[in-house]
A and B are shown apart, each in its own frame.
Chain A
Amino acid sequence: MASPNAVLLVSFLLFSIGIAGVLIRRNALVILMCIELMLNAANLNFVSMARHSGTVGGHAIALLVMGYAAAEVAVGLALVVALYRKRDTIQVDDINLLKG
């Protein structure tokens, strides 16, 4: 049984790696994966706090977040495919439709 501090630290590390990936990568696929990683870090926190308090709420929220993550990744990947068809790129730097 790990202490809650260890869980918080691991989930925080995962979250910051996800943020760093969203900020520095140019590939839209990798950015989507980093968003999934951040959702997982939050889930890990929920599960650990559910274990800490012995109640079922954290489990329920973590399960719901998994479903929302699946919906998000489906729409996000469809956007990536549509973007690739329209602009022939998935590098986020090259997407400047609003720049005029």
Chain B
Amino acid sequence: MDQLNQSLAALGSHLFVIFGLLACAAAAVMIFSKSAVHSVLAFLFAMLSVAACYLTQQAEFLGVAQLLVYAGGIVVLFLFVVMLVELSKFKEKGLFQAQAKAAVPLVAVLVGLFAWFFRQALFGAPAKEALTLPAEISGGLDVAANNAQAVSRGLFSGWLLPFEILSVILLVALVGAIVLAKAERV
């Protein structure tokens, strides 16, 4: 039993790496698949893996929000556009742009440079508590057990102005999307 618990704990500490690599693999499939529907499905898988990564980082609320926003909203939007746009007539054209030959080595060089910096980036141990709030905000809330409430208190105390700006931007995007996609200008 102890052995089982230990192996479960070991698995838990590797869950992030597992899901992160799954997300990277799905992203690679997304780039290199010929059919746009396959790309969207790989994108969905990558988003689900990122949501799982959030859960392993003890960001439960963000993980669920990721599921709702991406799997529930954005992927469906992409699938609708794939349905609207006739893609089969593009088949005879090349999959990649002309600059792909230069772009791939450039990205590889950038990966190498960043990996060099990450090699030296060392951090101390993470905080003991996954999330702490200042006493005047938390008001006796059990932060560890109520992630969504803790995030909302932090959001609406320190991040109220960006939140309101976001709501205006969403409204502008809504109107702009309707105007852009409308068939004929009146």
Contacts and interface: CB of A to CB of B under 8 A. Distances in A.
Given A14-B24, A91-B90, A67 B74 contact: no
Contacts of B118: 5, 8-9, 12
Interface centre among B15, B46, B47, B57 (most CB of A within 10 A): B57
B180 A75 contact: yes
Contacts of B128: 54
Q: Is the interface of B mostly helix, strand, loop or mixed?
A: helix
Interface centre among A3, A30, A34, A52 (most CB of B within 10 A): A30
A100 B166 CA distance: 38
Interface of B: 13-17, 20-21, 23-24, 27-28, 30-31, 36, 39-40, 43, 46-47, 50, 53-54, 56-59, 61-62, 65-66, 69-70, 73-74, 77-78, 81-82, 84-85, 87, 90, 93-100, 103-104, 106-107, 110-111, 114-115, 118, 121-123, 126-133, 150-151, 153-155, 158-159, 162-163, 166, 169-170, 172-174, 176-178, 180-181, 183
A19 B159 contact: no
A24 B100 contact: yes
B127 A52 contact: yes
A25 B94 CA distance: 9
Contacts of B126: 1, 4, 51-52, 54
Task: Bin chain A's interface residue count.
Answer: 35 or more
B177 A64 contact: no
A62 B159 CA distance: 12
Given A17-B31, A24-B97, A70-B170, A29 B154 contact: no
B83 to A, nearest CB: 11
Contact of A2 (B16, B36, B84): B16
Contacts of A77: 77-78, 81, 177, 181
B27 A17 contact: yes
Interface of A: 1-10, 12-14, 16-21, 23-27, 29-30, 32-34, 36-37, 40, 43-44, 47-48, 50-57, 59-64, 66-75, 77-82, 84-85, 89-93
Contacts of A52: 123, 126-127
A30 B58 contact: no
Contact of B27 (A8, A14, A63): A14
A17 B100 CA distance: 13
A24 B84 contact: no
Given A59-B62, A67-B170, A20 B151 contact: no
Contact of A63 (B122, B155, B183): B155
Given A19-B107, A54-B126, A56-B133, 13 more contacts: A2-B17, A5-B118, A8-B121, A12-B115, A23-B99, A23-B103, A24-B97, A26-B97, A33-B78, A47-B59, A71-B172, A73-B74, A82-B180
